[in-house]
Each structure stands twice: as structure tokens, then as C-alpha cells.
Structure 1
Amino acid sequence: MRNKRIIERNIIMTPPAEDENIFRSIGVEPIINCRGTFTIIGGSIERPEVLTAMKAASKHFVQYDELAEGVGKRLAEITGAEWGLIPAGCAAGLKHVTAACVTGGNPEKLIRIPDLTGLDKTQVIIPRSSRNTYDHAVRNIGIEIIMIDTPEELERAINPRTAMIYLNSGGASATGQPLSLEAIAAIAKPHKIPILVDAAAENLTIPPVHLERGADVVAYSGGKALCGPQGAGLVLGDKAILMSAWQASSPHHGPNRDNKISREEIMGMLAAVEAWTTRDHDGEWQTWLAYLGLITQQVSQIEGISTQVVEPTGTSNVAPTLEISWDPLALHITGEEVAENFARNAPRIAIGGRSAEGKTSIHVTPSQMQPGEAEIVAERIHAFLSETRSPKPVEMAAAAADIDGHWELTVEYFTSSSEHRLFLQQEGNWVQGMHQSDFSNQQINGTVEGSQVKLQSVAQHTADGVPFLFSGEINQDEMAGSIHLGEYLTARFTARRAHYNTVHRSVEIPGGPPLAT
């Protein structure tokens, strides 16, 4: 007889009522989203049509190749693209399309990825301006990145090994720029080099504007403007490329099997695209402005506060934003400090915060706010900014130690450790120097107040990077504390001052060339 684990009744989660927040049942405090469609706080609110489609799809089974065929055809009918594909997110779509351009739909090549030995298409061209933290999805296939800065460099870079060209939408690839999509297409098309455009955060245009401008394939996030499943994406364009991309994706075995998407998510994403064509976009915009108007009305009562609504003109992250600004010397608090307080204390609210010379501000983006939340946000901002605060101490506490010199660090990650080095120079409370991490050397700066040490650096890798925010205590020739790694969570560190044996040795400079080597 099989062993069965008996679970105590009191640790089984009782399904919450529809109006209750399910996250509190596991001890997680939810967030009012005034930042927009950031993945790390959940993306977007799924449309009712999406939830209905997902529930309907959950009741039946289907053969996935047949599902992909039906969905691809339907997406083509809706969008005007030749074909469509729904992957497990935009990044997965970039990965599948890269695999398609490398393999040409040949499964014997596919199952060798990421070892591209013997394959003829092994390079992807990316303008330097399009390098970004998301091009990991392209690099995951094992290709070699060729970076270019000018149209002339693009001409020279194209060769028989070129699999495709990857572009980030907007900015330097916008119409009229030297490396616009149109300019790149004019160079690439005669060589039959496909172009993939990453338009993750953009509004869907019908027909897709980037395909009309010269791209072969364009990829979108499902959990941003489209308000589809957070784990889904949308890829539109050349049918042959997208069939090869589907071949490279789950449920098929191979390098991209890990990017699995459910039948529920596929049909939910299709429903989101269909809903996009009938949504009252103007009405949504007016609702967002009404939320911001309510907040503006309340916070404008605070002396020294100014507000303005900024309406974007592009197609990426399209939503109005309320900027609430003030003189930090008048209210004795910065926008970043307000945002941090709101992030950590109930009711938790995700807002943006930034400072410039003589001005600080917070920013409210309403696109993912829900009915009733604007009142909560308005009251919270009004109450917090109305508090009387004393001026911050101008003088810092005297440093209790001098951390000048060379320090050997041990950084403890979850399952490993690394040896780093710091070369520091201290002037009073202020510290600057160099941080030598595993793969790079970077500037570091910070402060010493009493025995408290705070230092910051960023280990860069192309368009990506890892922040190191050290916070610790110094005790004579030792330091210890924590490291905040941004989105990569935290680590611990211990440090020891390096000591050297002093050697005095004179230096002799030869009077001419050597007579022996």
C-alpha cells in the first residue's frame, strides 16, 4: 500500500471569497499597482474575455499542433499578418524565432542547439542601440552576436552565416533614424536576411506597423498592453518562419521545450487579441485620466505641491502618468523615499520616484488600477505628504573607522561563494574606489557613518548589469553585512583588510638597450 502524507486540516488553504485577496491567505500582502505592466508585480489585469476563454479551454483536451494551426490562422485573420504564434511570453517568442532562423525548420539542427558546430547560420546582427537585458532570449540559442553602429557596418557584417537581425522597437530604430527599421530592411532584404522586432510593451497595431515597415516578424508581450495571460506572448509575421518557430517550441522536444504554454493560456491570449479589436480604448483612457484627476484634486491641496499629467505619444507603454513634484528642502523628503515607504507599508502602493536638481517627484501610472483604488492612493499620498517633517541633519555622524586600502571580500550567495576585492579611498564620510567582482572591475562609492558602511557599484555586461548595494558594519580590520542585488535578491559578505609586508628595494634604470635577453 502506498504511503500517504497526512496533511493537517488547519494548513490546507480554504478558497477565499471572490472579494477577498487570495495572496493574504499565504501571508503575502498585495500591492496597488500604480507603476504599469511590470512583470515583477504581475503585469496587467487580464480581460474578462481572457478569463472566460481560459476557463472554457480548461474543460477540454486538444492536439497541440492542430491548436497552433487553428490559432495561427485566426490571428492572421484578426491582425492582417500572414501568420501568428502564441508562445510562453515575448522572450520565449524571441528565442523560438531565433532558433527558427538558425535551423530553417530542420529538426536535426534543432536538437543540437545550443551547440551550433556544423550549422551554417550561427550569427545574429544587433545594432548596439538595440542591445538590452532581454536579448538573453536570442543568445540562449548559442549564436554569436555581431554588433553594428552604422548602415555601412551592417552591409559589411552580413555574410552567409547571418541567421537574422534583431531590433528593439523605437528609439534608434524609429523611422528617420540612420538605423531605422526601414533603412535596415533596405539593406537586409536583398540578402534575404529576416528581421525580428521586439515590441514587447507596445500597443498592437492592425495591421502590425513593424511588418509594414519591413520586419519579417514582430513579438509582443501578452501580459502588458494586450491584457492577456501574463505567461503568454504574441508573435506575428512570416508564416514559414513562425512554423519553424512552432516546431522549435514546446510541446516539441528540443532546446525550447522548457518554454511550455498551456492550452488555457493559448486560448486566453487569442481572446485578448480578439478583445483588442473591440475594446473601448478611448473610454479606457478617460477612465485613467479620471483616476489621475481624483488624485490630483486631493494632493493639490498640499502647499508646495505641483502636478502635471504627461501623455505619451509613442506606441510603447502607452498610458498617461501623473507627476507629483515638490522641493525636497521644503517637505524634507524625496520621491524615492516616498516610493520606498509606499512599497513596504500597507496599504502597499507601487509608484515611481525620482529626483533632479532642486526637484523631486513621484509618478502614478493608472493603466492597471482597479475601481476604488484611486481613492485609496489619493488619501495615502495626501496624508503622507501632509506630515510635518524636520529638516534632515546636514552633518553626517563622524566615521568611526578609516576603510582606506585593499579589502578581500567573501560573498555568500544561496549555494556558492565568490572572492571579490575592494580598493577604497576615504575622505571623511565619503568613500570611492574600485570593486573587482567575478568578471569585471567597476567604480564603487559610498559612505561611512559611525561604524555603518554603505557602498554601491554595478557589474556591467553589455546592456545588462548586476547592482551591488553593500550595507555592513566595520570592526577594526573586518567588515560584514548584506548585499542587495536588485532583482537578483540578496547575498551576505565578510571582508578583511589586506596587509602587505613592506619591501624597500631601489630601482635601477638601464643606461641603454640590454646586452642579453
Structure 2
Amino acid sequence: MKRRELIKGLTILPLAGVVAGNSDSLLASAINDITGNVNSEGSSAIFDGSLKPGPAIYQSIGVEPVINCRGTFTIIGGSIELAEVRAAMDSASRHFVQMDELADAVGKRLAQLTGAEWGMVTAGCAAALKMATAACVAGGNPEKLHRIPDLSGLEKNEVIIPAESFSAYDFAIQNIGVKIIRVNTLEELRDALSSKTAMIKLSGGNLVPGPMGLEAIAALAKPMNIPILADAAAEILTIPNVHLQNGATMVAYSGGKAICGPQCAGLLLGPKNILMSAWQASSPHHGPGRDNKVGREETLGMLAAVETWVKMDHAGREKNWMTWVNAIASRMSAIEHVKTMIMEPKGINNRSASLTISWDPLKLHLSSSDLIQELINSKPRITVGAGRNTDNGMTSISINASQMQVGQDKIVGDRIFELLTKKRSPKTGSEMNTPAALINGRWDLVVDYFSSKSDHMLYIEQDGNWIKGIHKTDFSTREISGSIEGNEIKFLSPGRRPAVSYTFSGTLDGDIISGKIDMGEFLTASFTARKNKAKADRVPIIFPTGRPMGN
């Protein structure tokens, strides 16, 4: 792409408020993003392992970055900070400030910008949930605050969460020590409300109108003066705030998602009295939030993100998204057996333009999981979403445009085109290798975690190449399913979030199976399972013919 064409493309990007004198560096960065250049020597330069700030900062320590076509997932870095955010953080880092004074000034300014009564910057959205809970439990009383997480003797020690709103992020709330009460209906919620209720937390479907929607719940909670916290982590920031208007007391956002602020910052909006109690519980104060420190840099970076958000050309940004997904879809149109579907930005949660690319895996000899692995395990590394398989046998991937950068549509389109048109032989995997042995029965399983071991139990039933059975962990019992080919064994022990799923891959050697476990976001472990050869007791059972004569 020529420099003139690049400049033309950059004119529609949301870079309002860029600091004067910084345009050349932004342009150079954009050119590097498009061309793939990481330094003057090119991407094949040899690194010695020492950190080298610049376009190749990650490569310098042996980490290859990815092109983000999935969205604002924390595991891949959230979002790209706005230029205004980076400028504010750099300026803030050069001076010292009294943090209570800073929080007061920022809280007041956030109120002016958002229309909420007060605002607070937190260490991410999960920290906002935690600090809001601490505020509702302790009420600004530092003696109560210092009892957390031992809430014995404290009046407010319960948080109600509808089942639809329950998620893994509620560990942040549990960290305060509260008892979480899950409810399924409005009647159950009404019955659970009491003088012990510190707060109600809502997210997802409970924030929209409906029988268990925010307005219906607020009608029950407000007469009892029970706060409602709306978890809007991945939502766009609405002004005036839709959730506060509909009855929420507080609303929490991730700074590093739609708002494109600091990845390690969040935003809590609501009444000043509760937010001051939340600030009291937060770092730099000594209490339950000391470990959720927010620096002066992130504080002003988050404020800069909101300042930019209220004047941003949102229509122009979404026009960029649509341009990119249309370009990729157009690239796919030349491939036989491939279909595309574009979704325009809608709603307020995870708002983005998206593209679904679907194909017949029998015609292209390629599954969506195989394509996803190829995209992430080769250069340029591209991460995309897994689409759903349809009833007619089509498979698919999804592309979220919200965190794509200028020029990446061509890189992504070319790479997916290359892999979808690659000549592949039909898979002949209908026949499986004969199992090396029968592995029916009980197996005593030892799991080696990073710094501990656990004794688990497996009970396996084998039917040819297929196995099923029971996996008993430290705290749960779940059904497993998998296969054995030769002496290679693979099976899944699924857990619904927040429970952990275990994917086992091991090798059979006599009466021992050993190998690795993938635990998703919790990384890996190893295992050894030994066949339990103890024979079951054969004790005759006598069914009583009369009633007991003693005990």
C-alpha cells in the first residue's frame, strides 16, 4: 500500500485529540501494522532475548503477537488503547499526586461526562464488582471493612444473583466473603430479600426488559433500599446511562474493552456515598482492595478514554469495521463451496461488525477447528472465533472487527483465502487403530499440578475404540467420554464454568496410563493412572424380613 493511500485510509480512523507532534509516529506504527515490518532489519532479525522496546517488543523476548479477530478478550490483551489514553498515561507518569485528591477530582469529572452522580476508576471490571460489594457490606465503616472476608457479626453478608447473571467473574464478589444466593424466578428473588441482603448483581439478559429484567427487580429492591449492581463489562458506555436510568444503583465497565482505555482499569458509576465507600476499600487504603491497585497513570488514562468516548465519531469507527468485514467477505467470494454472512453492529454488549465464513468440510477437506489451529500456529498469527456447525453439515469461523487495525483486513483475507484454497487430501479417519488393550474398570488417578498433587478416581467402560465413564475429582463427579487408538488414550472430563474442564491425553503402558491434562485457562497438569486390581468384596446381602430390634 502506498503512503498516500494509507494517509487517505487513516483520515476516517477515530484519532480525535491526537497530541500534536505525534502524527509521524502514529503513521509509522500504522505502516508497520500493514506491512508486517517490525524493525529496520525486517521480521527475520535475530533477537538475543533481551527486551527491545519498539514495534518488535514482543518478538524480542520470543513471543509472537496475534492479529485479533475475536474481540475484547482479556486473555489476548483486551483492546488497543486510544492514542489519547497513551498520551495521558505518559504525562501522568511524570509527576506525583495525592491519590485521594486525584480520585475526588476524577470522580467529579466522570460525573460531568457520564451524567452519573459519581465515578471511580478501578483495577478492571472484576475489581469494580469486588469494591462495590465491599462498599455494600461495610457501608464506609472501616472497622467492618477490616473484618472482610470474615463477615460473622456483620448484618449485610448476602448477595443475590439470578442464575442467568451468574458467571465466573463472580469470584470477585465471593472474595469479600459474602454468601451468594442464586435465584431462578422473581418469586425466589422476592423471598430471598432480607435485612442480610447487601446487594443484587445483574448482567446479560437480566439487564434487559423481561420478567426477570432490571426494572422488575428494581421495583422489589428499591423499597428495601437494596443496591443493584449492573455488570456491563463488555458493553459500550451509554450516555445517559441506560442501566442507571432503568433502576440500577451502580454500573461497572471494563476499561480495556469497548471503551479502549487501559487494559488494567475499569469504571464504576453510581451514587457518591456508595462509591466513596468503595474507594475507601480500595488501594492505596489498607483493606480488602489494597491488592487491586490503580496507579495515577491508569486513573488518568481511564478518564482520557471517557473524555474521548463522548466526542468520538462512533459512526466512523463502525464504518471502518464494515469496510473491513466486507473486504474479507469479498475475498472469500471467489472460493467454491464457501459462504459468508455479515452482521452489522447492533446492541450495546460486545458491539461490533462481524463476519461468518462457512463451508462444507467434506468438500474442502478442512474442519473449522483445523483452520483455527492453522491460523494461530503459523505466521502471521490470527485468532478468530469458532462458528457453529449447522444441520446441513456446514462448518464456520467468525471474525469480530472491533479490535482489528487498519490494513489487517487484507492480511486476514489473504491468509484465510490461502488456507481455504489449499489442496488437501480427503481425510480417511473413518477407520481407527485397534485398541492395544481393554481398559475397563477402576483406575487410581494422581494429578500433578504446578505445586501440588491430588488423588482422583476414574471408572472406565470401553466399547471398541470408544470409552465413557466417571471421573471423581477433589470436589466433583462428572461423566467422561473419549477414545483409545492403539495405546493412545484421549478423553474429556467436562465442567461448566466456573468449574474446570479437563482434557486428558495419555499413553497406555501395561496397567499404567500417563500423560498431560489441558485445563483451559488454568493451563496444564500431568497425570498418572494405575489400574486398581483390588477385587470387589463378595458379601451376600440379606434383605430384612422384619423390623430392627435394636440400634
TM range (shorter): over 0.9
2:549 and 2:52 map into 1 onto residues whose CA distance is 88
Inter-CA distance 433–280: structure 2 relative to 1 (3 Å threshold): same
- Between the two proteins, the alignment pairs up a number of residues equal to 502
2:79 and 2:195 map into 1 onto residues whose CA distance is 42
2:331 and 2:343 map into 1 onto residues whose CA distance is 18
Counterpart in the other structure of 2:65: 30
Q: Establish whether residue 13 from structure 1 lines up as the match of residue 13 from structure 2.
A: no
Counterpart in the other structure of 2:379: 346
- Look up the equivalent residue of 1:144 and give its one-letter code: K
Q: Establish whether residue 96 from structure 1 lines up as the match of residue 110 from structure 2.
A: no
- Look up the equivalent residue of 1:291 and give its one-letter code: W
1:312 and 1:431 map into 2 onto residues whose CA distance is 44
1:464 alignment partner, SS class: coil
1:75 and 1:441 map into 2 onto residues whose CA distance is 48
Counterpart in the other structure of 1:190: 223
2:196 and 2:536 map into 1 onto residues whose CA distance is 56
| Contact 2:49–2:61 under 8 Å retained in 1 | no
Counterpart in the other structure of 1:145: 180
Counterpart in the other structure of 2:190: 155
Counterpart in the other structure of 1:244: 277
1:56-71 map, 5 Å = 56-71=91-106
What are the superposed Cα offsets for residues 287-332 of structure 1, whole Å, 9 maximum, x if unpaired? 1111112211212211100001123532100001110001111111
What are the superposed Cα offsets for residues 194-248 of structure 1, whole Å, 9 maximum, x if unpaired? 1101000000000111000000100000000000000000111111000000000
2:157 and 2:319 map into 1 onto residues whose CA distance is 48
What are the superposed Cα offsets for residues 235-266 of structure 1, whole Å, 9 maximum, x if unpaired? 11111000000000000001110000110000
Q: Establish whether residue 72 from structure 1 lines up as the match of residue 113 from structure 2.
A: no
1:446 pairs with 472, 477, 482, which one? 482
Displacement of 1:513 after TM fit?
A: 2.4
1:258 pairs with 291, 295, 301, which one? 291
Counterpart in the other structure of 2:120: 85
1:481 pairs with 506, 512, 515, which one? 515
What are the superposed Cα offsets for residues 80-130 of structure 1, whole Å, 9 maximum, x if unpaired? 000000001010011000000000000011011001121111111111111
1:69 and 1:464 map into 2 onto residues whose CA distance is 36
Counterpart in the other structure of 2:319: 286
Instruction: Specify every segment of 5 or more residues in structure 2 that has no aligned partner in the other structure, as ranges.
Output: 1-46
- Look up the equivalent residue of 1:13 and give its one-letter code: S
Inter-CA distance 285–513: structure 2 relative to 1 (3 Å threshold): same
Q: Establish whether residue 270 from structure 1 lines up as the match of residue 303 from structure 2.
A: yes
1:86 alignment partner, SS class: strand
1:36 and 1:492 map into 2 onto residues whose CA distance is 31
Counterpart in the other structure of 1:496: 530
2:442 alignment partner, SS class: strand
Moved more, 439-448 or 144-153: 144-153
1:417 pairs with 433, 450, 453, which one? 453
1:382-461 map, 5 Å = 382-393=417-428, 394-460=430-496
Counterpart in the other structure of 1:466: 500
Q: Establish whether residue 313 from structure 1 lines up as the match of residue 350 from structure 2.
A: no
Counterpart in the other structure of 2:366: 333
Displacement of 1:502 after TM fit?
A: 5.2
Counterpart in the other structure of 2:232: 199
2:303 and 2:378 map into 1 onto residues whose CA distance is 38
Moved more, 207-216 or 391-400: 391-400
What are the superposed Cα offsets for residues 420-453 of structure 1, whole Å, 9 maximum, x if unpaired? 1111111111111111011000010001111110
Counterpart in the other structure of 2:400: 365
Displacement of 1:14 after TM fit?
A: 5.9
Inter-CA distance 193–502: structure 2 relative to 1 (3 Å threshold): closer
1:121 and 1:314 map into 2 onto residues whose CA distance is 35
| Contact 2:252–2:266 under 8 Å retained in 1 | yes
2:78 pairs with 43, 46, 60, which one? 43
List structure 1 runs of 4+ shifted beyond 6 angstroms. none
| Contact 1:335–1:355 under 8 Å retained in 2 | no
Counterpart in the other structure of 1:6: none
Inter-CA distance 118–385: structure 2 relative to 1 (3 Å threshold): same
1:210 and 1:270 map into 2 onto residues whose CA distance is 20
1:282 alignment partner, SS class: helix
1:367 and 1:515 map into 2 onto residues whose CA distance is 74
Inter-CA distance 277–473: structure 2 relative to 1 (3 Å threshold): same
| Contact 2:131–2:279 under 8 Å retained in 1 | yes
2:550 and 2:264 map into 1 onto residues whose CA distance is 69
Inter-CA distance 12–478: structure 2 relative to 1 (3 Å threshold): closer
What are the superposed Cα offsets for residues 373-403 of structure 1, whole Å, 9 maximum, x if unpaired? 1111111100101012122121111111211
2:107 and 2:88 map into 1 onto residues whose CA distance is 17
- Look up the equivalent residue of 1:211 and give its one-letter code: L
Q: Establish whether residue 166 from structure 1 lines up as the match of residue 166 from structure 2.
A: no
- Look up the equivalent residue of 1:367 and give its one-letter code: S
Counterpart in the other structure of 2:165: 130
2:545 alignment partner, SS class: coil
- Look up the equivalent residue of 1:307 and give its one-letter code: T
The two structures, once aligned, show a CA RMSD in angstroms of 1.4
1:297 pairs with 321, 330, 333, which one? 330
2:334 and 2:322 map into 1 onto residues whose CA distance is 19
TM-score (norm 2): 0.89
1:313 alignment partner, SS class: coil
- Look up the equivalent residue of 2:461 and give its one-letter code: Q
| Contact 1:336–1:352 under 8 Å retained in 2 | no
1:402 and 1:453 map into 2 onto residues whose CA distance is 12
1:111 and 1:490 map into 2 onto residues whose CA distance is 36
2:62 and 2:522 map into 1 onto residues whose CA distance is 22
1:236 alignment partner, SS class: strand
Counterpart in the other structure of 1:514: 548
1:466 alignment partner, SS class: coil
| Contact 2:114–2:240 under 8 Å retained in 1 | yes
1:182 alignment partner, SS class: helix
1:227 pairs with 260, 272, 282, which one? 260
| Contact 2:346–2:352 under 8 Å retained in 1 | no
2:422 and 2:492 map into 1 onto residues whose CA distance is 31
What are the superposed Cα offsets for residues 32-80 of structure 1, whole Å, 9 maximum, x if unpaired? 1110100000000100100110011011110000000000000000000
| Contact 2:49–2:62 under 8 Å retained in 1 | no
1:323 and 1:502 map into 2 onto residues whose CA distance is 54
Displacement of 1:342 after TM fit?
A: 1.1
Counterpart in the other structure of 2:152: 117
